[in-house]
Amino acid sequence: MAQYLSQNRIEEPIWLEPVEITFLRMRMSEIHCDLSRYAEIVQANSFLEAQISSELRLQRDAKFVELASIRNILSPVRRIPVEILSEIFELARLPEDGIFHSNHTIVLYTYNVSSVCAAWRKTALATPRLWSKLCFDWEIYTKTVATKVEWVKEWIDRSQSLPLDVYLSLRLGSASGQFLEHILDCHHRIRHWM
């Protein structure tokens, strides 16, 4: 448990014993009491606020940092094995009707999931199946990613050697041509094209 408390960022699942969870929950309760006490002191002694507030503020801020660290450790998602989290990511990106098509927002979903936190990003990047389907409608993404087509190569690289399923709706133009070139560079891996 001490190794988790000393880390600024935790990127892997955490396995805690029940006694450790109880200890951390009690510590959170103590911190909440301390923070309430600091608030009461400042409120009751407003005339001394200038003198004591800087020291109290430092103590209060340290308590907030410790509290955030403990909440991070106790977060239920920390106890989910990477394999299960990968499966959840994959299931959540399925289209509502179960049929993949070019205007399914899989690109947006996958980038959002991989941007939540360091642990989720690490899991998403280590799950090639997340990147083995590419659904892209030029009209939907015109203002966001369509002008910077280099991301397509990264997307395909992240799928490693898995077969690719590609669902596209493109508009003629130089950027869409570059987009298509990146995809056709791996034409031998394309299993489904629509």
Q: Which has the minimum average pLDDT: 21-35, 37-51, 177-191?
A: 37-51
Nearest residue to 123 via CA among 190, 183, 78? 78
pTM, 2 dp? 0.66
Model confidence at 158, pLDDT cuts 50, 70, 90, reads: very high
77-131 tens-digit pLDDT: 888 888 999 999 999 888 888 888 777 788 888 888 888 888 889 899 999 999 9
Q: Give the side-chain half-sphere CA count within 13 A for 61.
A: 6
